[in-house]
Homo-oligomer: A and B are copies of this chain.
């Protein structure tokens, strides 16, 4: 599989962490990218019209996206324990946690675009406040209701949660998410040393 890659994208990280966790990282050829919401990467757009990473290209020439789909595809192609539970309540819980982590990341990326990409005189405080509130609500929800789930065997929801918290440390180091979430912080401290997460630490 070829993969349009960026070392700073938390969605690419989730795909690569899935590949490492399932023993398939060596099968992935990383393609460079220059994806952004304003300056688009025409090479990616030709295969995925959103122009976003991650976008995968399969052996048969077809394109596969987005991150959730690539992760589930990788998870269908290895012999170990599955990160996507096949069915029943375990599946819906794991997928809901994956959605929670990705909504946290969507908010974090919109907050970052607002302060790091948009010209200073075009920034809107209410928008930024709304996105940061989503981050804070998500951390509070993880602390209040998901610690038992996270403490079980790693699934795609827990892996996405780790990537989301790693992104907060990477881009929002001044926003101390740990202050009100000691159990989540303890879980993350243990989890971030997992090889699939060490191998995919963000850079850029």
Which A residues fall within an 8 A CB radius of B? 36-40, 45, 48-52, 62-66, 68-69, 72-73, 76, 87, 89, 92-93, 95-96, 99-100, 102-104, 106-107, 113, 118-119, 122-124, 126-127, 129-131, 133-134, 137-138, 140-141
Q: A122-B122, A122-B124, A130-B37 are contacts. A96–B65 as well, Cβ < 8 Å?
A: yes
Kindly identify which residue among B39, B66, B102 contacts A99, using a CB–CB cutoff of 8 Å: B66
What separation, in Å, do the CA atoms of A68 and B138 have in the docked complex?
A: 19
Kindly identify which residue among B37, B45, B66, B96 contacts A137, using a CB–CB cutoff of 8 Å: B45
**CB-CB < 8 A to A93: which residues of B?**
62
| Shortest beta-carbon distance from A15 to chain B in Å | 13
Q: A49-B138, A122-B124 are in contact. List 9 more A-B contacts (CB 8 A).
A: A38-B127, A51-B137, A62-B96, A65-B99, A66-B99, A69-B95, A72-B95, A73-B92, A113-B127
| Shortest beta-carbon distance from A72 to chain B in Å | 7
Oligomer: number of copies: 2
| Shortest beta-carbon distance from A161 to chain B in Å | 12
User: Closest chain B residue to A130 by CB distance?
Assistant: B38
- Pair A103/B52 contact, Cβ less than 8 Å: yes
- Pair A63/B96 contact, Cβ less than 8 Å: yes
**CB-CB < 8 A to A141: which residues of B?**
49
Q: A38-B126, A38-B130, A118-B124 are contacts. A69–B96 as well, Cβ < 8 Å?
A: yes
